Amino acid sequence: MKTSDLILQTATKLILFLIVLFSVYIFFAGHYTPGGGFVGGLLTSGAILLLLLAFDMKTVQTILPFNYLYMVALGLLFAIGTGAGALLFNTPFLTHAFGDIHVPVLGELHLHTATLFDLGVYLVVVGVTMSIIQTIGGDE
């Protein structure tokens, strides 16, 4: 019998945005408060997992058409790239740089390349957890 899960799906549509928003917040707040790429990535994959629970795998694949293995590769590339970028400026590997940069719309920003490294961690965590879940959950 086909059961109706209208309540779960409607609640998911609302709650998903809260979780994704909080995971982005956790990711960017990692420099000054508890959080960072790892927890943010886990929260994001938790949000995608909620989508997987409420809908089926094919629907989620059309909503988020990512290949999670490429996501892992991209994350590792970010991490190695920010490390190797230091070599171009004649400094040791993984030396991070920071500076106050004037961005047209946002104004003065204090930017740090450690955020890019963290973005790599974030992408790897989302990619690894989602590919584990998809491999276990899928039956083809």
Q: Which residues bind other proteins (CB under 8 A)?
A: 1, 3, 7-8, 11, 14-15, 18, 22
Residue 51 or residue 124: which is nearer to other proteins going by CB? 51
The distance of closest approach from Cβ of residue 140 to other proteins in the complex, given in angstroms and rounded to an integer, is 27
Backbone φ and ψ of 92, nearest 5°: -60, 160
The distance of closest approach from Cβ of residue 55 to other proteins in the complex, given in angstroms and rounded to an integer, is 15
Residue 51 or residue 123: which is nearer to other proteins going by CB? 51
The distance of closest approach from Cβ of residue 33 to other proteins in the complex, given in angstroms and rounded to an integer, is 10
Residue 26 or residue 119: which is nearer to other proteins going by CB? 26
